[in-house]
A and B are shown apart, each in its own frame.
Chain A
Amino acid sequence: MTARRVADTRRRRLIEAMKDAGLDAVVLYGNAWQNDYLRYAADFGILEGEGIAVVTSDGETTLYLDDSFEADRAAVECPGLDTVVTDDIVADAAAAIERLGNRRIAAGPKRHLPYGLARRREENRFDDATPILDRLLMIKAEEELQAVRRAARLADEGYAVFRNAARVGRKDYELIAEIEAFFRANGVDDNFMIIGAGGLEVRGMAPPSGKTLKAGDLVTTELTPCVDGYYVQICRTLVIGEASEAQKKAFAVYHEAMIAGIDAVRPGITAADIAKAENDVFRRHGLGDYVTSEYTRVRGHGLGLFPDTKPHILEDVTTTIEQGMSLIVHPNTYHPEVGYMVLGDSLIVTGEGAEVLTTTPRELFSMAADRRAA
Chain B
Amino acid sequence: MSNLRTPLFQWHVDHKARMVPFGGWEMPVQYAGIGPEHKAVRSAAGLFDISHMARVSLGGPAALALLERIFTNSVATMKDGQVRYGLVCEDDGGILDDVLVYRWPDGFAAVINASNREKILTWIESQSDGLYAEVRDQTLDTTMIAVQGPKSVELVAGMFADDVSGLKYYYATPSRYKDKPCVVSRTGYTGEDGFEVIVPNALGVALWEEFIAKGVVPCGLGSRDTLRLEAAMPLYGHELNETIDPIHAGLSWAVKFDKGDFIGKAAIQKATADTTKPVRVGLEIEGKRAAREGCAITDADNAQVGTVTSGSLCPWLDKSLAMGYVNPQFASVGSALDIDVRGTKLPATVVPLPFYKRKK
The yes or no verdict on A and B being binding partners is no
Residues of B within 8 A of A (CB): none
Residues of A within 8 A of B (CB): none
